[in-house]
Amino acid sequence: MAETSATQHHPLAELGDYIAASITLSSHEMIRGELVLTCARETLVPLLTFLRDDARCLFKLLMDVSGVDYPNRADRLCVVYNLLSLKHNTRIRVKVWTDEETPVPSVVDVFPTACWFERETWDMYGVFFSGNPDLRRILTDYGFDGHPLRKDFPLTGYVEMRYDPEQQRVVYEPVKLTQGFRKFDFLSPWEGAPDLIYNLPGDEKAATPPTADKKAG
Protein backbone atom coordinates (compact mmCIF):
# COMPACT_ATOMS: atom_id res chain seq x y z
CA MET A 1 0.00 0.00 0.00
CA ALA A 2 1.09 3.60 -0.54
CA GLU A 3 0.61 6.90 1.22
CA THR A 4 -0.98 8.76 -1.71
CA SER A 5 -1.89 8.15 -5.32
CA ALA A 6 1.28 10.02 -6.31
CA THR A 7 3.40 7.34 -4.66
CA GLN A 8 1.58 4.44 -6.29
CA HIS A 9 3.77 4.75 -9.38
CA HIS A 10 6.98 5.34 -7.45
CA PRO A 11 9.62 2.74 -8.43
CA LEU A 12 10.00 1.71 -4.79
CA ALA A 13 6.24 1.28 -4.41
CA GLU A 14 6.26 -0.98 -7.48
CA LEU A 15 9.18 -2.89 -5.97
CA GLY A 16 7.19 -3.30 -2.76
CA ASP A 17 4.26 -4.77 -4.71
CA TYR A 18 6.66 -7.13 -6.46
CA ILE A 19 8.21 -8.31 -3.17
CA ALA A 20 4.79 -8.75 -1.55
CA ALA A 21 3.71 -10.91 -4.51
CA SER A 22 6.82 -13.07 -4.13
CA ILE A 23 6.98 -13.63 -0.37
CA THR A 24 4.54 -13.25 2.53
CA LEU A 25 4.67 -9.87 4.29
CA SER A 26 2.69 -8.39 7.14
CA SER A 27 2.69 -5.05 5.32
CA HIS A 28 4.60 -2.94 2.83
CA GLU A 29 4.26 0.81 2.59
CA MET A 30 5.94 4.00 1.48
CA ILE A 31 6.86 6.20 4.44
CA ARG A 32 8.42 9.58 3.66
CA GLY A 33 9.62 8.32 0.30
CA GLU A 34 11.12 5.10 1.70
CA LEU A 35 9.91 1.53 1.25
CA VAL A 36 9.30 -0.21 4.57
CA LEU A 37 8.51 -3.93 4.75
CA THR A 38 7.14 -5.59 7.89
CA CYS A 39 7.25 -9.36 8.27
CA ALA A 40 6.66 -12.08 10.84
CA ARG A 41 9.64 -13.47 12.72
CA GLU A 42 9.51 -16.80 10.89
CA THR A 43 9.59 -14.99 7.53
CA LEU A 44 12.60 -12.82 8.32
CA VAL A 45 15.40 -15.07 7.05
CA PRO A 46 13.60 -16.06 3.82
CA LEU A 47 12.73 -12.41 3.18
CA LEU A 48 16.27 -11.10 3.65
CA THR A 49 17.61 -13.94 1.51
CA PHE A 50 15.15 -12.99 -1.23
CA LEU A 51 16.08 -9.30 -0.97
CA ARG A 52 19.76 -10.20 -1.24
CA ASP A 53 19.53 -12.60 -4.19
CA ASP A 54 16.58 -11.57 -6.37
CA ALA A 55 17.62 -9.78 -9.57
CA ARG A 56 15.16 -6.92 -9.03
CA CYS A 57 16.41 -6.40 -5.47
CA LEU A 58 20.09 -7.28 -5.00
CA PHE A 59 20.28 -5.69 -1.55
CA LYS A 60 23.74 -7.09 -0.91
CA LEU A 61 24.67 -4.81 1.99
CA LEU A 62 23.16 -4.89 5.46
CA MET A 63 23.95 -1.38 6.66
CA ASP A 64 22.53 -1.57 10.16
CA VAL A 65 20.33 -3.45 12.61
CA SER A 66 18.72 -1.40 15.36
CA GLY A 67 15.83 -1.53 17.79
CA VAL A 68 12.90 0.61 18.89
CA ASP A 69 11.00 0.16 22.15
CA TYR A 70 7.23 0.68 22.40
CA PRO A 71 6.45 -0.26 26.03
CA ASN A 72 2.66 -0.06 25.61
CA ARG A 73 2.56 -2.77 22.92
CA ALA A 74 2.39 -6.50 23.59
CA ASP A 75 5.23 -6.96 21.09
CA ARG A 76 7.09 -3.96 22.46
CA LEU A 77 10.38 -4.38 20.58
CA CYS A 78 10.77 -3.57 16.90
CA VAL A 79 13.96 -4.73 15.15
CA VAL A 80 14.84 -2.66 12.08
CA TYR A 81 17.09 -3.80 9.22
CA ASN A 82 18.45 -1.22 6.76
CA LEU A 83 19.68 -2.63 3.44
CA LEU A 84 21.42 -1.10 0.43
CA SER A 85 21.56 -2.22 -3.20
CA LEU A 86 24.63 -0.84 -4.96
CA LYS A 87 23.41 -2.34 -8.23
CA HIS A 88 20.14 -0.39 -8.19
CA ASN A 89 21.28 2.48 -5.94
CA THR A 90 18.31 1.76 -3.67
CA ARG A 91 17.70 1.44 0.05
CA ILE A 92 15.01 -0.55 1.83
CA ARG A 93 13.95 -1.06 5.43
CA VAL A 94 12.63 -4.26 7.03
CA LYS A 95 10.87 -4.42 10.40
CA VAL A 96 10.02 -7.35 12.64
CA TRP A 97 8.27 -7.23 16.02
CA THR A 98 8.84 -9.30 19.14
CA ASP A 99 8.28 -9.24 22.89
CA GLU A 100 10.76 -9.36 25.74
CA GLU A 101 11.10 -13.16 25.69
CA THR A 102 10.49 -14.42 22.14
CA PRO A 103 13.69 -14.67 20.09
CA VAL A 104 14.16 -13.29 16.60
CA PRO A 105 16.02 -15.54 14.12
CA SER A 106 19.59 -14.43 13.53
CA VAL A 107 20.40 -13.41 9.96
CA VAL A 108 24.14 -14.03 10.31
CA ASP A 109 23.96 -16.81 7.69
CA VAL A 110 22.50 -14.29 5.23
CA PHE A 111 24.62 -11.28 6.18
CA PRO A 112 27.72 -12.13 8.27
CA THR A 113 28.00 -8.47 9.32
CA ALA A 114 24.77 -8.94 11.29
CA CYS A 115 26.70 -10.61 14.12
CA TRP A 116 27.89 -7.39 15.75
CA PHE A 117 24.68 -5.52 14.85
CA GLU A 118 22.63 -8.17 16.62
CA ARG A 119 24.96 -8.10 19.61
CA GLU A 120 24.42 -4.35 19.92
CA THR A 121 20.63 -4.72 19.64
CA TRP A 122 20.73 -7.46 22.29
CA ASP A 123 22.88 -5.30 24.56
CA MET A 124 20.81 -2.13 24.23
CA TYR A 125 17.27 -3.56 23.91
CA GLY A 126 17.39 -7.16 25.13
CA VAL A 127 16.27 -8.75 21.86
CA PHE A 128 17.49 -12.34 21.82
CA PHE A 129 18.65 -13.55 18.40
CA SER A 130 18.44 -17.32 18.10
CA GLY A 131 21.30 -18.75 16.07
CA ASN A 132 23.74 -15.90 16.63
CA PRO A 133 27.10 -17.61 17.24
CA ASP A 134 28.44 -14.98 19.66
CA LEU A 135 25.56 -13.19 21.37
CA ARG A 136 27.44 -11.26 24.06
CA ARG A 137 27.24 -7.67 25.24
CA ILE A 138 29.28 -5.36 23.06
CA LEU A 139 28.91 -1.81 24.45
CA THR A 140 28.35 -2.42 28.16
CA ASP A 141 30.22 -4.64 30.60
CA TYR A 142 29.45 -8.35 30.59
CA GLY A 143 27.95 -8.13 34.07
CA PHE A 144 25.77 -5.13 33.21
CA ASP A 145 22.20 -5.28 34.52
CA GLY A 146 19.41 -4.37 32.10
CA HIS A 147 19.21 -2.91 28.61
CA PRO A 148 19.90 0.86 28.52
CA LEU A 149 17.79 1.90 25.50
CA ARG A 150 14.53 0.47 26.77
CA LYS A 151 12.11 3.23 27.71
CA ASP A 152 11.69 1.89 31.25
CA PHE A 153 15.42 1.74 32.00
CA PRO A 154 16.25 4.29 34.75
CA LEU A 155 18.44 7.22 33.74
CA THR A 156 20.84 6.41 36.56
CA GLY A 157 21.15 2.73 35.74
CA TYR A 158 21.19 0.19 38.56
CA VAL A 159 24.85 0.21 39.54
CA GLU A 160 27.75 2.63 39.47
CA MET A 161 31.44 1.89 39.40
CA ARG A 162 34.45 3.48 41.04
CA TYR A 163 38.07 2.67 41.65
CA ASP A 164 38.69 1.30 45.12
CA PRO A 165 42.26 2.19 46.24
CA GLU A 166 42.16 -0.41 49.01
CA GLN A 167 41.21 -3.27 46.68
CA GLN A 168 43.16 -1.67 43.84
CA ARG A 169 40.46 -2.45 41.32
CA VAL A 170 37.22 -1.15 39.89
CA VAL A 171 34.20 -2.10 42.00
CA TYR A 172 30.47 -1.94 41.28
CA GLU A 173 27.99 -0.62 43.82
CA PRO A 174 24.24 0.13 43.81
CA VAL A 175 23.47 3.66 42.63
CA LYS A 176 23.24 6.12 45.51
CA LEU A 177 21.59 9.48 44.79
CA THR A 178 22.37 12.42 47.02
CA GLN A 179 19.14 14.05 45.87
CA GLY A 180 16.04 12.60 44.26
CA PHE A 181 15.18 13.31 40.66
CA ARG A 182 12.50 15.84 39.98
CA LYS A 183 9.64 14.20 38.14
CA PHE A 184 7.61 16.17 35.63
CA ASP A 185 4.40 14.95 34.01
CA PHE A 186 5.30 16.64 30.74
CA LEU A 187 8.13 16.38 28.25
CA SER A 188 10.00 19.47 29.42
CA PRO A 189 9.78 21.75 32.47
CA TRP A 190 8.11 24.43 30.32
CA GLU A 191 5.33 22.28 28.86
CA GLY A 192 2.11 22.04 30.80
CA ALA A 193 3.28 24.59 33.36
CA PRO A 194 1.79 27.97 32.39
CA ASP A 195 2.44 29.36 35.85
CA LEU A 196 6.16 28.83 35.27
CA ILE A 197 6.08 30.14 31.71
CA TYR A 198 4.43 33.44 32.56
CA ASN A 199 5.77 33.95 36.08
CA LEU A 200 9.45 33.24 35.85
CA PRO A 201 11.69 34.41 38.68
CA GLY A 202 12.43 38.09 38.18
CA ASP A 203 9.20 38.81 36.32
CA GLU A 204 7.50 40.04 39.49
CA LYS A 205 8.56 43.57 38.62
CA ALA A 206 6.20 43.54 35.66
CA ALA A 207 3.23 43.45 38.03
CA THR A 208 4.52 46.01 40.58
CA PRO A 209 2.96 49.50 40.73
CA PRO A 210 4.88 52.46 39.29
CA THR A 211 7.69 53.80 41.43
CA ALA A 212 7.49 57.03 43.35
CA ASP A 213 9.99 58.63 40.96
CA LYS A 214 7.81 57.77 38.00
CA LYS A 215 4.75 59.24 39.74
CA ALA A 216 6.66 62.41 40.44
CA GLY A 217 7.62 62.69 36.79
Residue 215 inside a domain? The answer is no
For the chain, the first-to-last Cα distance in angstroms comes to 73
In a domain, 213, yes or no: no
Residue 212 forms part of a structural domain? no
The answer, yes or no, to whether residue 100 has pLDDT greater than 60, is yes
Question: Using one digit for the tens of pLDDT, what is the confidence trace for 150-189?
Answer: 998 887 777 777 888 999 888 878 877 665 555 555 555 5
- Report yes or no on 181 lying in a domain: yes
Whole-angstrom CA distances from 171 to 30, 108, 155 are 50, 35, 20
DSSP label of 182 = P
Per-residue pLDDT reduced to its tens digit, 108-145: 999 999 999 999 999 999 999 999 999 999 998 877 88
pTM of the model: 0.74
Contact assessment for residue 69 and residue 117, using Cβ atoms and an 8 Å cutoff: no
- The parent domain of residue 160 ranges over 5-206
Decide the pairing of beta strands 129-130 and 104-105: parallel
Residue 16 is assigned to a structural domain of this protein? yes
Tell me how many domains the chain contains: 1
In a domain, 32, yes or no: yes
CATH code: domain of residue 163: 3.30.460.80
The rounded distance, in Å, linking the Cα atoms of 71 and 74 is 8
